Amino acid sequence: MTQTLYTYEGGEIDLSRVTRLYPAALISAGGESASVSLEWADMKKEQVTLEAYVLICDFDPVGDVPVNRVEIRYETKEELFSAMNEIASIVQS
């Protein structure tokens, strides 16, 4: 059986159970925090404060409101992309 575990600082994720996996930027603006697309965060970088980059892993069926979610935070976009490449190599093996 192929290994589908991704280990990160703070835990482990069984990638075979993930139904949605996507990168985002965690921003704050007007006292609120929100996850937005990387592109949107880049376009609005003068108006918002970037808190972190996140890799969002949802475990609920596609179409359901995501309740079972893990958000892994990274300080830089490079760290986020490195994690995405590592996950891709695990999934492809």
Residue 78, domain member (yes or no): yes
- What local confidence, expressed as pLDDT, does residue 1 receive? 44
Please tell me the distance from the alpha carbon of residue 39 to that of residue 28, in angstroms, as a whole number. Answer: 15
CA angle 80, 49, 41 (to 5 degrees): 55
Task: Record the pTM.
Answer: 0.84
Residue 93, domain member (yes or no): no
Residue 26, domain member (yes or no): yes
Q: State how many domains the chain has.
A: 1
Residues 7-59 have pLDDT tens digits of 998 899 999 999 999 999 999 988 889 999 999 999 999 999 999 999 999 99
- Domain span including residue 77: 5-88
Helix segments in 1-93, DSSP class H: 38-43, 77-92
